[in-house]
């Protein structure tokens, strides 16, 4: 028996003007390109959950033949996808099913929109593959595959459920970045978030020794790969984080992760992160004003920390860890003045990297439910426009056009050679300061 596991990748900006900007301002789409080029950790986990007597093939969507070409045959196909690529996923699933090849669909969008997804699948996997995929394969072999399999929402890293992803399937492929997951979920719970917290019932951490084993396995097949921790908020638990970092340091890695601004409050943690090879952290700063953050998460966790944003970014970057600050434009408190405010904030913060996004009501999120209830969604179904750059709703305090045009203006400013050069200069000066040069200003 042979199963084809197909990873969907690549997101294309739909708005023509923004697509053109992506060509001329590489920094604008840089992070998106990086994400699109990462291997699918979810499918590598699915492969590991597959019984050893079943052959699996890991395939990137980019290598799948076009519409009228013949598809590679399998006994069963599994596709993991996300909202912006779900229409292409359904089209591919329909092609396979037309050939008589059964299809199982999974991933975040499928978990959040199961009724929609099951129209294009013989089976769907909801939430984590752990606790679902082995049963699905066993049922398929026995000729009794069900329409829906419920994966675990907690305990995914517990013995019996946990498996190490099949990193060996990546050998010989041209990846220069590999991903390892250390945790699933995030306790902050922002209204717009469509990440792993939607498929977990609580924040879950992997035991340190498992993470180290995975890091060794994931990096073994590549020369000097850059590591991405595929987490939504790695350092929620500082004690666990420090234990992990002490074990990571001897591995001599360069790595990236996503976490929150609180890491700046712990000098020991920052020091350990730098020594363990952390080169960049992505932090969801979301808004250049405190007002924009109020109501974003149930406990106003981010709003209560806004007054420390600039000093925190400064401390993190001084420790040798660059900050990739992400912002969400079009929050309900944002007026058309937010674009100039954000440019001022970016300049004041000296963030090395900046990710600008448009608030996006991903289906299944509280934001989607609220905007749908209020009649503010621009279309019933707009999944291929969930690119983080396209506007899909009526903003509260500006028009759709103002948000679109303001976003384009701000992107042109933030990613201009002038601004990016200034941010790079600051980063280089910080490196000199750490090396004891002391000749240049790093204010």
Partner 1 sequence: MNRQKIEIEIRKALARITEEDVSRLKADENLAEVIGLDSLGRLELLSEVEDAFDLTIYDIDSEKASTIGGMLEIVEAALIENAEAV
Instruction: Tell me which residues touch partner 1 (CB under 8 A).
Output: 176, 223-226, 252, 254, 279-280, 322, 352, 421, 424-425, 427-429, 431-432, 435, 437
Could you tell me if 181 and 41 are in contact, meaning their C-beta atoms sit under 8 angstroms apart? yes
Could you tell me if 365 and 372 are in contact, meaning their C-beta atoms sit under 8 angstroms apart? no
| Cα–Cα distance for residue pair 435/269, rounded to 1 Å | 20
- Structural Rg of the chain based on CA atoms: 22
| Residue placing its CB nearer to partner 1 in the complex, 137 or 178 | 178
Dihedral sign (CA 406, 412, 415, 420) = negative
User: For residue 283, what is the DSSP state?
Assistant: E
- Min dist CB 65 to partner 1, Å, is 28
| Residue placing its CB nearer to partner 1 in the complex, 332 or 429 | 429
- Min dist CB 323 to partner 1, Å, is 12
| Residue placing its CB nearer to partner 1 in the complex, 280 or 387 | 280
For 107, what's the count of Cα atoms within 13 Å in the CB-facing half-sphere? 25
- Min dist CB 25 to partner 1, Å, is 13
- Min dist CB 226 to partner 1, Å, is 5
Could you tell me if 83 and 206 are in contact, meaning their C-beta atoms sit under 8 angstroms apart? no
| Residue placing its CB nearer to partner 1 in the complex, 136 or 281 | 281
The backbone torsions φ and ψ at residue 24, rounded to the nearest 5 degrees and listed phi first, read: -90, -20
- Min dist CB 102 to partner 1, Å, is 39
Nearest in space to 404 (alpha carbons), one of 388, 391, 385, 386: 391
- Min dist CB 432 to partner 1, Å, is 6
User: Which residues is 6 bridged to in the sheet?
Assistant: 59, 79
- Min dist CB 30 to partner 1, Å, is 8
| Residue placing its CB nearer to partner 1 in the complex, 53 or 417 | 417
| Residue placing its CB nearer to partner 1 in the complex, 217 or 433 | 433
| Residue placing its CB nearer to partner 1 in the complex, 226 or 368 | 226
Distance from CA of residue 60 to its chain's centroid? 17
Dihedral sign (CA 251, 255, 257, 262) = positive
| Residue placing its CB nearer to partner 1 in the complex, 33 or 73 | 33
| Bridge pairing between strands 148-150 and 353-358 | unpaired
| Residue placing its CB nearer to partner 1 in the complex, 254 or 381 | 254
Q: At what angle do helices 417-434 and 309-318 cross, to 10 degrees?
A: 60
Long-range contacts of 142-147 (CB under 8 A, 24+ apart): 145/102, 145/104, 147/118, 147/122, 147/123
| Cα–Cα distance for residue pair 347/33, rounded to 1 Å | 24
Neighbour tally for 73: CB within 10 Å: 12
- Min dist CB 186 to partner 1, Å, is 25
- Min dist CB 412 to partner 1, Å, is 19
């Amino acid at each position: 028996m042979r199963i084809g596991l197909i990873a969907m990748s690549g997101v294309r900006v739909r708005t023509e003007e923004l697509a053109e900007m992506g060509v001329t301002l590489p920094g604008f789409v840089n992070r998106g390109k990086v994400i699109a080029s990462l291997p699918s950790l979810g499918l590598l986990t699915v492969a590991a959950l597959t019984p050893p007597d079943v052959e699996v093939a890991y395939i990137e969507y980019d290598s799948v033949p076009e519409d009228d070409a013949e598809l590679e045959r399998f006994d069963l196909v599994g596709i993991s996808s996300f909202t912006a690529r779900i229409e292409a996923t359904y089209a591919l699933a329909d092609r396979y099913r037309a050939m008589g090849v059964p299809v199982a669909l999974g991933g975040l969008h499928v978990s959040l929109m199961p009724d929609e997804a099951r129209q294009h699948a013989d089976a769907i996997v909801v939430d984590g593959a752990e606790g679902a995929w082995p049963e699905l394969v066993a049922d398929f072999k026995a000729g009794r595959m069900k329409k829906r399999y419920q994966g675990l929402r907690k305990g995914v890293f517990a013995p019996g459920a946990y498996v190490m992803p099949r990193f060996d399937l990546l050998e010989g492929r041209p990846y220069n970045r590999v991903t390892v997951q250390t945790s699933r979920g995030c306790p902050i719970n922002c209204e717009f978030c469509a990440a792993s917290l939607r498929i977990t019932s609580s924040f879950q951490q992997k035991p340190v020794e498992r993470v180290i084993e995975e890091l060794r396995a994931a990096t073994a097949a590549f020369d000097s790969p850059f590591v991405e921790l595929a987490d939504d908020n790695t350092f929620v638990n500082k004690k666990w984080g420090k234990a992990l970092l002490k074990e990571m340091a001897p591995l001599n890695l360069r790595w990236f992760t996503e976490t929150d601004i609180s890491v700046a409050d712990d000098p020991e943690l920052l020091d350990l992160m730098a020594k363990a090879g952390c080169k960049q952290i992505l932090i969801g700063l979301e808004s250049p004003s405190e007002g924009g953050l109020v109501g974003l998460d149930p406990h106003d966790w981010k709003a209560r920390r806004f007054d420390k944003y600039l000093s925190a970014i400064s401390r993190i970057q001084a420790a040798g860890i660059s900050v990739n600050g992400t912002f969400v434009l079009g929050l309900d408190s944002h007026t058309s003045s937010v674009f100039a405010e954000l440019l001022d904030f970016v300049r004041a913060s000296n963030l090395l990297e900046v990710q600008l996004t448009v608030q996006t009501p991903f289906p299944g999120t509280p934001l989607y439910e609220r905007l749908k209830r209020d009649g503010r969604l621009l279309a019933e179904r707009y999944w291929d426009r969930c690119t983080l750059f396209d506007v899909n709703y009526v903003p509260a305090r500006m028009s759709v056009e103002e948000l679109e045009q303001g976003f384009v203006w701000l992107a042109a400013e933030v990613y201009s050679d002038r601004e990016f050069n200034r941010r790079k200069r600051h980063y280089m000066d910080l490196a000199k300061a750490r090396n004891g040069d002391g000749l240049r200003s790093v204010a």
